[in-house]
Structure 1
Amino acid sequence: MLLNRILENKKISINKKKQILPVSCLKIPSAEKPNSIIKKISHQKFIIIAETKKASPSGGVFRKKYNPARIATSYVSGGASAVSVLTEEAFFLGSIEDLRKVKNAVDIPVLNKDFIIDEYQIYLAKYFGADCVLLILRILSDSQFLHMFELARSLNLEVLIEVHNKKEIQRLSNILPDSRGALIGINSRDIDTLSISHETIFNLLSSAKNIKIPVIAESGVKDANILRQLYQSGASGALIGEYFLRSKSPGELVKKLLKEMNYG
């Protein structure tokens, strides 16, 4: 299964990074408040988190000459409210250095999207400039999730918590200690089959809204009509990557989607 392969590779990668750059060498600016995605949501009807990544298992390589900072600045000019930076190395060809490049290039919130299974990754994300980190509920036990969530919040990082089904939403509602600084991400892509179901998002939105924190739709969104339906169904935003990255002018595509959305 693809997810298992990603996680096994991630364990090896983390151990190598710890030897090169141990936590003791990281100067963590813990008192620094994040550039807040949640605040963006409070000031806008609906936000777009535009993602930059070199490749994906489902889409292949998007750009051979990959410049994440240039892509991110294009997103800003197009009206994106935040940028997601995918830093997984083996399957998405990312790098933690991509995070710093983007952070130095933009003035909007930056999300570090990766398969976080070790607290070291949260320290690393903070060190390289993240304002928010992704925690995938499916790959963490309750105790692991709580530890990661509380550590992230102690470092003034917001947390996008990814769920895939009603069982995970119910589990989250039972264990989430404090909703401050938290967002829910509903991912419509099955990581093992790589298939996408928009019905997944709409079916889960009502359940997710019961937790009373902002909900972000993830994966496969590339149509203004779907964005409008998401907004009308209670979503606070959408995270979009591949659709933008296949364009020579990703920022213009962000602008076009926002214009066509016409909230209604």
Structure 2
Amino acid sequence: MGDTPRTDPPKLSLLVPCYNEEKRVGATAKTVIEFIAESELDAELILIDDGSLDGTWTLLEGLRLAHPVVRTVHLEKNRGKGGALAAGVDAARGEYVLFFDADLSHGTENIRRALDVLERGADLVIGARDLNDDGDDYPLTRRVTSAVFNLVIDSLLGLGIPDTQCGFKAFRREVAGALFRTLTVSRFSFDVELLFLAKRWGHRIERIPIEVEHQEGSTVRVFRDGIQMFGDVVRIAWNAKRGRYPKSANR
């Protein structure tokens, strides 16, 4: 059994949404827990089970019982990545919140860098694969689909933010709370709506170069999910045109 879980709030809450991730999240959690200890990072690790159908929840609970830095959130029904992260943000106690994918494709070395940028005054930090000189090793299909998706986003919303779908983002907690409470999209396109709102509300958005190592076993189904994502972006643009989003975080 682990030591008694901490009761004082940490500086940073690390969020990992999990859906049917029993084969991968154990190794990811172990790596992150070791990173927190070795770097003496003042952080908690929140693992969110998004209504998994496999043994993910049992695994997460075992990690919570064994490691004081781990907390868990269990959703009875699948809400999508955005919905899972909204629940994680609600549970977070840190001054800052950072989320990344269960495969840890973005690596732990980027966590400290994102935190440093937040502490220098940013409201939101986005991992930017396009700023990395080494590029990434994602399959060609994923890269082409991503490029087309970004063109659609720019034409409909004028975001001007390349690679909105990078799964590594960090926030001041109060900023994350306001953004996630306002989202109407809960699945893969939630990032687009989140960034649209952040830009609309005048938040300071910073991008940092990150390396990404493609991992097998992705839950993204490129063509089927791509159709849904396109529909979500059209809905976001329609909502914006109809004035359905608040003009500021304070309404």
TM-score, normalised to structure 2, is 0.30
TM-score, normalised to structure 1, is 0.29
